[in-house]
Amino acid sequence: MTTEPISTQPQRKVRNFALLSNRAGAAFMLPAGLLVSVFVIVPFFWVIFVSFTNRTLIGKTALNPDFVGLGNYLALFDPATFFQRGQFGFSLILTTQFVLMSALVGQALLGLLLAWLIQTVPPWIKRITETFVIAAWILPEVVIGFAWFAFLDRDAGTLNMLLTGLGLPPGDFLLQQPFWVIVVFNTWRGAAFSMMLFNSAFSSIPPSYFQAADVAGASSWQKFRDIGLPLIRGHIVTDLILITMWTFNTFTPFLLTNGGPSYRTELVSIYNYRVAFQDFQFGKGAAVGVIMMLINLAFALIYLRLGRKKAPKS
Amino acid sequence: MNLTIPAFFGRIAFSALAALIGAVFALPLLWFLFAPFNAQAQMGLAVPDPWTLSNFVTVFGNSYAVQALWNSFIQATGGVILVGAAATLAAYALSRSSVPGKGAVTYVLLLFSSVVSGSAAMVPIFLIISAAGIMDTHVAVILTFAGGLLPTAMFILRDFIDSIPKSYEESAMVAGASPVQAFFDVALPVIRPGIVVVVVWSFVNIWGSFLIPFVLLRSSDNMPASVAIYSFYSEAGTPIVTLLAAYSLIYSLPVVALYLFVSWKFGFRFFGGIKA
């Protein structure tokens, strides 16, 4: 009894003692600090600065840009052209619809359905389904882009071959329905993350809850609605915020549609690229970047606040 | 017990639905199982007759295609070395030292890393690389990715190091090791699995990315495979399908291999780490 306090006290002292001195700690953090500062933090402030200038990629203003105040922002939000195709407002609304349909509806619902299904199906079906869903997620984006290009080919593509086989009319979907193509494409591409997140969330629920429900004769839907869903609510919120941010920033549809035809799939990331690197208007492109970052910031703050609530000690 | 029959059919319906979704996910990829081995591959789905490796021979005979794969390798490896080394040191300091304000640093890094995405920051990144005079070099791509991937890599590793008892290094220091020796000789071998995860994750990220090299590189000598693949088009602008299919498969192989390696070694927990 008397030895215990003696043995724990020095131990606690040792635990509070930092293993690395402050100087060594700072030296250890230096390389990462430099890299992150130059390529993450500086761009954040530089883009704000550039957005107030008329800097271009080539020509006189590439070297000596003029300060134009809010000019770039006023051009982006010019009410006369805001909603026109190929303008910022059109792109922003398109992106909002894209995020709503492909991330919040497509990826999250499909991921939830898949995660629930693979809890109960035989292991070999689970493995095959998981393999393809995850393959869609891990393969490099250019490969996926080309696979879809071939898949949707008007004359010989796999999709039209299937549709014809089923007696349905084939179509040139990249031309006729480009928006729905990128919605389905992004759902297909990203459902794996939601599936894996929800899958691990469901696995963390004690099996006894479901066994009790089985004894009471609950259907799968009742178990999902009354046990599964309420218990993974936190994971759903996390998932929705993350996939919203990723989908909002994604550039991958560019590889499938190039933003076209006639700007119909020009998401803000693609709009930003076109303005800056095809029209060479860096100032205006920077203004688009600033607005994208502000939207990212809003989502990131919500996410961090939720994370802090869950883990108050950190 | 009269529940078993509906339950039985329910299970069949569930299996059928899961298999159907799996099949729908497989459809766009089916083409890739056949076209690389078909010397007459077109956009349509067709079983090769005969199966052949001639497309691969063509790819490896194309010096530009091989050069692009090598460039991808240089950029991904360079980035991975930087990310791995810098993230390990920084994560160790975040976990084991009491540098003032490290909590705030962590919070700010987390915030910035999710706000400054490649597609939002392409203009300032281009300008920084341009100002540094390293436009159109491997170093430009390597540094940009290192900076962008480091915050997440640091969080994954810090969580990992936090879970390792300090007593390992403490006993080494009791035995007379300096803190730096304790890090290199004692802590480093223990945190190696965490470093492997971060290295694989960064490699796959850099290897597969398109936008950053697309914006920062100009000359074909420096293009990684993700950008060079778009040069496999004929004069008329139609894709050379046979070459593209085989090349895509070769280009995908490292990613698939690394994924299998990680899921065999660590399971799916690794991907949950992204949300940390």
* Domain shared by B21 and B123, yes or no: no
* Domain shared by B184 and B212, yes or no: yes
* Domain shared by B29 and B149, yes or no: no
ipTM of the complex as predicted:
0.82
Is B264 part of a structural domain of the chain?
Answer: yes
First to last CA, chain B: 45
With an 8 Å Cβ cutoff, are A296 and B45 in contact?
no
**Chain A residues 36-95 within an 8 A CB cutoff of chain B:** 36, 38-44, 46-47, 50
* Domain shared by B165 and B268, yes or no: yes
* Domain shared by B75 and B208, yes or no: yes
B43 Cβ contact partners less than 8 Å away, ≥ 6 residues apart: A149, A150, A153, A155, A156, A157, B241
Contact residues, chain B, for A153 at CB < 8 Å: 43-44
Residues of chain A within CATH 1.10.3720.10 domain(s) are 82-310
CA distance A90 to chain B (A): 18
Is B219 part of a structural domain of the chain?
Answer: yes
B148-186 pLDDT, tens digit each = 888 888 888 888 888 888 888 888 888 888 878 888 888
Among B131, B114, B149, CA closest to B216: B131
Peptide bond preceding A261 in cis form (omega within 30 of 0): yes
B137-148 pLDDT, tens digit each = 889 899 999 888
Packed helices A233-249 and A178-203: angle between N→C axes, nearest 10 degrees: 150
Amino acid symbol at A19? L
* Number of domains into which chain B is organized: 2
pTM: 0.84
* Domain shared by B35 and B122, yes or no: no
* Domain shared by B219 and B144, yes or no: yes
* Residue range of the domain that includes B198: 62-275
With an 8 Å Cβ cutoff, are B123 and A286 in contact?
yes
* Domain shared by B150 and B250, yes or no: yes
* Domain shared by B32 and B74, yes or no: no
**Preferred mutation among B123, B145, B209, B244 to probe A, highest tally of A CBs within 10 A:** B123
* Domain shared by B208 and B262, yes or no: yes
Burial B87-126, CB ≥16 within 10 A → b, else e: bbbbbbbbbbbebeebeebbeebbbbbbbbbbbbbbbbbb
Is B159 part of a structural domain of the chain?
Answer: yes
% residues pLDDT > 90 (chain B): 8
Q: What is the dihedral of CA B260, B261, B262, B263, to 10 degrees?
A: 40
* Domain shared by B10 and B80, yes or no: no
Nearest CA in chain B to A214: B3
B179-224 pLDDT, tens digit each = 788 888 888 888 888 888 888 888 888 998 888 899 888 888 888 8
With an 8 Å Cβ cutoff, are B111 and A142 in contact?
no
The architecture of the domain spanning A82-310 is Orthogonal Bundle (1.10)
A63 Cβ contact partners less than 8 Å away, ≥ 6 residues apart: none
Is B57 part of a structural domain of the chain?
Answer: no
Contact residues, chain B, for A304 at CB < 8 Å: 107, 110-111
